[in-house]
Structure 1
Amino acid sequence: MRTDVKAQRAELELLDNICRFVEDPLGYIKFIMPWGEGELAECQGPRTWQAEILAAIRDHLQNPETRFQPLLISVASGKGIGKSALVGMISQWAMSTCSDPKVVLTANTEPQLRTKTWPEVNKWFTLALNEHWFNLEAESISIKDPTRKRLWRMDRIAWSENRPEAFAGLHNMGKRIVVIFDEASTIADKIWEVTDGALTDEKTEIIWVAFGNPTRNTGRFKECFGRLKHRWLKFQIDSRTVEGTNKEQIAREVEDYGGEEEDHVKIWVRGLFPSQSSKQFIPSDLVQAA
């Protein structure tokens, strides 16, 4: 009996602590993960760029004037900076600090989603102090309460231009919607358009984050940094500025591919869109300068 009472008291204390972070994903991630221990033994918290994005979400939600306006974040980066890890952190916070949230994750391809992004998301749910709250399944994560699991959930969805309706039903009025695109550069424009049109609920926390290596110089991901840049909070991250990346190997790669201005280096190291695309013969940087 004493053990049961002690466990109940600990669970109530955990719940009280988590409730402090409803509008603060950065504080939440610092609290809920076992930093400095086990798998995170070499980490004292999120990487600097990850913390900046978590703080941007916090600031948006804590401002009464912006809280119920959609927050759109686009992140173009070099490789190896920990994008999938941040996907996991955002997802874990979104699911833990709001009742009946709707979280949707997609990626450029089904194999990327199934074998890379989704396992990383599962890892962060498993590491968290409240791991026991959730059912982790092949295509979804849901609260263990059987009366709530249909409403309180995260789904991984492989996109299809022929079946975009999965992204049209994102309504969750009065609660929370989080949409995450991984490797967003090659997600079809149609999926972006359908998602954009679905995020219209009032009095609802709506967060849409698009991550990707900027592999294409056309499409909606590129437009987040161009035609639609006024709508998006934009980050372009050079792999060399990020903790935990192999700076010597990156320097060799830059040298091997011909220097800073080569498109391979722009895309995979500097987090910049290429100067030319397969259908473009005039460098886009010259067009913009004209």
Structure 2
Amino acid sequence: MADNYELMLAQDMGQFFDDPLGFVLYAYPWDTDPALQVVELPSPWNLIYPSKYGPDAWACGGLENLGRQVREHDFDGRTPVPAIMEAISSGHGIGKSAMVGWLVCWIMSTRPYAHGTVTATTSDQLSSKTWAEICKWNKRSIASHWFDMGTGKGAMRMVHKQHRESWFCAAQTCREENSEAFAGQHAVNSTSFYIFDEASGVPNKIWEVSKGGMTDGEPMWFAFGNPTRNTGAFADCFGGQRHRWHGQHIDSRSVAITNKELLAQWVADYGENSDFVKVRVRGGACSQCVQLAVHPTRAGRRGHGARAGAAQ
């Protein structure tokens, strides 16, 4: 019976190869775990999937779009396809870390021999928030028993129990002197993926080295953050490199789980068009950032760096 169950589970995971939203709604006990019953699955997805609860609308839309890209690329296991590159710039409190957990579990559960690297701005953020969230969602996953989860400094790894050296995801600090940890990641017959949490603070050197992992297989790169910095690779995802990235700006007020009263207070205190609200509520670039993207030299002469530091 156990062997039959594992075979059926593996077959189910295969069906979610190009359906990350379907995976998220299948893999987690939305309708039996009260801790997950926070958001009722929004329309039109509540008409498609047999679940009362689920991700918020922004996450449903993002996962659905991701599945669409997978189908368009139609990776055959041999011929390299273009990298999927997703950048999410948002205000506070929308549930980005949960999305990170879902993405890691979806890729690792549906793609044998996937190789992944996850990072965040600081080691504390990486261990106590980002990696902790990945561990939490894997523990809840129907396929959690396939993987061993390591925690603690130098041991944050998710590995397939039967393929420990060839099917894994590791957390790495993003210090520039650790850039070699992001190099040489390849999965010719699978998915090489990077996830940058609080991506505004990830040094440019780390972004540069990570590009090497996008050269074969079915590569994916996800960057999440608040747009607190006016320069750097994350800002470029919505500026000079926006033709390479599928970028989204998400207003915290449009998300069901956010504290609307607090957000309204911020708007009242700082003003709808203030840089504070633009960055921390609306998830968009501050006015100086926009000027920099359009007129980089002119914005620099206006002392943009000083103002950006004040906005952080």
**Structure 1-normalised TM-score?**
0.89
Could you tell me which residue of structure 2 aligns to residue 174 of structure 1?
Answer: 189
2:117/2:171 contact within 8 Å kept: yes
Could you tell me which residue of structure 2 aligns to residue 103 of structure 1?
Answer: 116
Could you tell me which residue of structure 1 aligns to residue 159 of structure 2?
Answer: 142
- The CA deviation at 1:198 is 3.4
Q: Which structure 1 segments of 5+ residues have no match?
A: 285-290
Letter of the 2:160 partner, please give it. Answer: I
Match of 2:200 among 185, 195, 219: 185
SS in 2 for 1:169: coil
Distance 1:280 1:88, change over 3 A: farther
Distance 1:111 1:64, change over 3 A: closer
1:164/1:194 contact within 8 Å kept: yes
- Percentage of identical aligned residues: 39
Letter of the 1:237 partner, please give it. Answer: I
Is structure 2 residue 278 aligned with structure 1 residue 272?
Answer: no
2:214/2:220 contact within 8 Å kept: no
- The CA deviation at 1:110 is 0.9
Is structure 2 residue 16 aligned with structure 1 residue 21?
Answer: yes
2:160/2:168 contact within 8 Å kept: yes
Alignment of 1:90-169 (within 5 A): 90-138=103-151, 139-145=156-162, 148-169=163-184
Measured against aligned partners, the alpha-carbon deviations of 1:203-225 in whole angstroms (never above 9, x if no partner) come to: x1111000000001111111111
SS in 1 for 2:24: helix
Letter of the 1:23 partner, please give it. Answer: D
Instruction: Give the Cα separation in 2 of the matches to 1:132 and 1:215.
Output: 38
Instruction: Give the Cα separation in 2 of the matches to 1:190 and 1:12.
Output: 43
Could you tell me which residue of structure 1 aligns to residue 258 of structure 2?
Answer: 245
- The CA deviation at 1:279 is 6.4
Q: Say which is worse superposed, 208-217 or 242-251, in terms of deviation.
A: 242-251
Is structure 2 residue 290 aligned with structure 1 residue 281?
Answer: no
Letter of the 1:47 partner, please give it. Answer: D
Could you tell me which residue of structure 1 aligns to residue 27 of structure 2?
Answer: 32
Letter of the 2:37 partner, please give it. Answer: A
- Give the root-mean-square deviation of aligned CA atoms: 1.9
**Structure 2-normalised TM-score?**
0.83
Instruction: Give the Cα separation in 2 of the matches to 1:193 and 1:280.
Output: 27
2:87/2:237 contact within 8 Å kept: yes
Letter of the 2:23 partner, please give it. Answer: Y
Letter of the 2:123 partner, please give it. Answer: E
1:275/1:283 contact within 8 Å kept: no
Instruction: Give the Cα separation in 2 of the matches to 1:178 and 1:25.
Output: 15
Could you tell me which residue of structure 2 aligns to residue 56 of structure 1?
Answer: 65
Could you tell me which residue of structure 2 aligns to residue 76 of structure 1?
Answer: 89
Aligned residues: 274
SS in 2 for 1:52: helix
Alignment of 1:178-257 (within 5 A): 178-201=193-216, 204-256=217-269
Match of 1:42 among 14, 35, 38: 38
- The CA deviation at 1:233 is 0.2
Instruction: Give the Cα separation in 2 of the matches to 1:280 and 1:215.
Output: 20
Match of 2:4 among 9, 12, 19: 9
